Structure 1
Amino acid sequence: MKIDANSIRVGNVLEYHGKLWVVLKTMHTQPGKGGAYMQVEMKEMQAGTKTNVRFRSSETVEKAHLDTNDLQYLYTEGDKMALMDMRTYEQTEVDLELVGDLVPFLKEGMNLVVQLYESKPVSVSLPEKVEGIIAECEPVIKGQTAASSYKPAVLKNGVRIMVPPFINQGDKILVSTVTLEYLERA
């Protein structure tokens, strides 16, 4: 679907030079000399590379149409993961690299959101919050609680994060899958 360059918004997925790009930032600029343009920062969905592109206001760009599908995670085999559509019980295999750094947070039965472009998966999203259990962390040292200081901790799945001083080994916590930061106790 063609849209005007002025209609580009953050979060749009554009088809540009034969690849899919997610719009991260936009800035409309109207210089004193010459025509107005839209400065767009984009990230390629497959490789993760970023680029900045200037589109003239008179230009049109191709906005990609993505289908969204809710699938349930079943298991991982090699570099693929098996997902099941809960409505049709149809199983599909998806590349594990679409999950990125969040692979350790995958749990059997977890609901994932898969975006498809021309029936091909292009991105996989986990829930915004996932539960983790603290495997090891440093003990609290008295007198260090004056400032809001965080201490390093390792979750049972091997992921390292920073947690508040009151969190101890064995505690269940919620972790943001967007920022990989501690949110709260579970």
Structure 2
Amino acid sequence: MIFFKSKDFKVGLKIEINDEPFIIVENEFVNPGKGQAFNRLKLKSFITGLVIRKTVKLGEKLKSTDLFELKVKYLYFDSNSYHFMNEDSFEYYDVSLDIIGETKNWLKEGCFCFIVFLNDKIVYVKPSKFSELSVLECEDVNSASVVSKNSKNAILETGVNIKVPLFVKVNDIVKVDTEEKSYISRVN
């Protein structure tokens, strides 16, 4: 097992805390005038997606994690699981509903995403940063609401509900940031 010292911490580093894999999303080195220097870390769990903060004293070590990400293509969903394929090796992966979690909101047949393995076991499916989805339903806009609002609710083809600008209509294809769950642009 590899251990990382506090001087090795950087954004993107994958570590393990209490047998749970995390990725460092923020790293701030703090050297106060009095007392010992430390790193203030913001960590995101690969399994739950929760973000936690951790303070690590100078010289402390954190354990590396045996985490591996594989880019795959989403094929289809049957009543039991989601099915993916590695386009390089043509290997198939079945992922259960409890592992897929909220990622299902961003999966469209033929899209690419990442399967995350921990010790050769699938622990998480990470969607691509951006997804292009069709608008199934959205609120009608009248002239009175245009003055009071600058966005409206829209339901996308995967069933997820997001805020979109007033000019977006049904059947428009929109680009969405899957991490922020927010509208980026209209594609068509």
Please provide the CA RMSD for this pair: 2.5
The equivalent of 2:135 in structure 1 is: 134
List aligned pairs for 1:68-87, cutoff 5 A: 68-87=69-88
The equivalent of 1:4 in structure 2 is: 5
Structure 2 distance, partners of 1:48, 1:104, is 15
Asked whether the equivalents of residues 135 and 156 of structure 2 are also in contact (C-alpha less than 8 Å), the reply is yes
The equivalent of 2:117 in structure 1 is: 116
TM-score (norm 1): 0.83
The equivalent of 2:150 in structure 1 is: 149
Q: CA deviation at 1:157?
A: 2.8
The equivalent of 1:160 in structure 2 is: 161
Q: CA deviation at 1:137?
A: 2.0
The equivalent of 1:21 in structure 2 is: 22
Q: CA deviation at 1:14?
A: 0.7
Q: CA deviation at 1:98?
A: 4.0
Quick one: percent identity of the two aligned structures?
25
**Aligned length in residues:** 186
Runs (5+) with no aligned partner, structure 1? none
List aligned pairs for 1:31-50, cutoff 5 A: 31-50=32-51
Structure 2 distance, partners of 1:97, 1:23, is 24
Structure 1 distance, partners of 2:7, 2:20, is 21
Asked whether the equivalents of residues 116 and 123 of structure 2 are also in contact (C-alpha less than 8 Å), the reply is yes
Structure 2 distance, partners of 1:179, 1:49, is 13
List aligned pairs for 1:97-116, cutoff 5 A: 97-116=98-117
Runs (5+) with no aligned partner, structure 2? none
TM-score (norm 2): 0.82
The equivalent of 1:94 in structure 2 is: 95
Q: CA deviation at 1:103?
A: 0.6
